[in-house]
Amino acid sequence: MKRQICFAVNLSILCVCLGCGDGNPDVYPVTGKLLYEGEPMPMGATVTFIPINDSTGVSTSGMVDAEGNIDITTFEDQTGLVPGEYRVIVYQIVEKEPDQVGEDGEIRPPVDADFTVVAPKDQIPEIYGDHMRSPLTITVNAEETDLGTIDLKANPDA
């Protein structure tokens, strides 16, 4: 009987310990800068990391601030990426929300408003936003990874 109780207690402790984890793979910090022709994108950008080949990575997105710093969060509150090989997709922000608020508290643009704030010559080529053709790839290891500076070019084929 004593052996059965001891076994039951140990089994209970094991079950509790196994249940404590969230089941997600480990995430490691990733730092870096994303620029366009050597300069930060005027309003920043959104980056998406898609695992390629048989990578164990997890798709996730992050933001690029006005200085070009990359901020990636995976699994709600874990900063960084799961180790693996990724294709990097960049979506440049080229429009801003209108600044006018109506009497009812709703934000409304004026009739003649143009909210494109990035000139066409400063907009990145579409290839960087194509999840199949983006030439950007990275590898994240099971440690902190510094991507350095990723400098997008107006002519990515050159």
- Cα 116 from Cα 95, distance rounded (Å): 4
Beta strands 30-36 and 78-79: pairing type? unpaired
Q: Give the pLDDT confidence score for residue 150 in this predicted structure.
A: 93
Q: Which residue has the higher pLDDT, 62 or 23?
A: 62
CA 154 to chain CA mean position, Å? 22
pLDDT-derived band at 19, boundaries 50, 70, 90: very low
pLDDT at 100: 67
Mean pLDDT over 7-19 rounds to: 38
pLDDT tens figures, 96-141: 665 667 778 776 666 555 566 777 777 889 999 999 999 999 999 8
pLDDT digits (tens, 9 = 90+) for 26-51: 999 999 999 999 999 878 899 999 99
Residue 68 pLDDT: 93
Q: Is the dihedral of CA 118, 136, 72, 29 positive or negative?
A: negative
Two structure tokens written together for 87? 């294709």
Q: What pLDDT is recorded for position 25?
A: 87
Separation CA 70–CA 19 (nearest Å): 33
pLDDT tens figures, 49-78: 999 987 678 889 899 998 999 999 888 778
> What's the confidence (pLDDT) of residue 106?
75
Whether residue 96 contacts residue 115, with contact meaning beta carbons closer than 8 Å, is answered with yes
Give the Cβ contact number of residue 150 at 10 Å. 19
Domains of the chain: 25-152 (2.60.40.10)
Q: What is the per-residue pLDDT for 14?
A: 37
pLDDT for 158: 65
Kindly tell me if the per-residue pLDDT of 10 is higher than 90: no
Retrieve residue 44's tokens.
């920043």
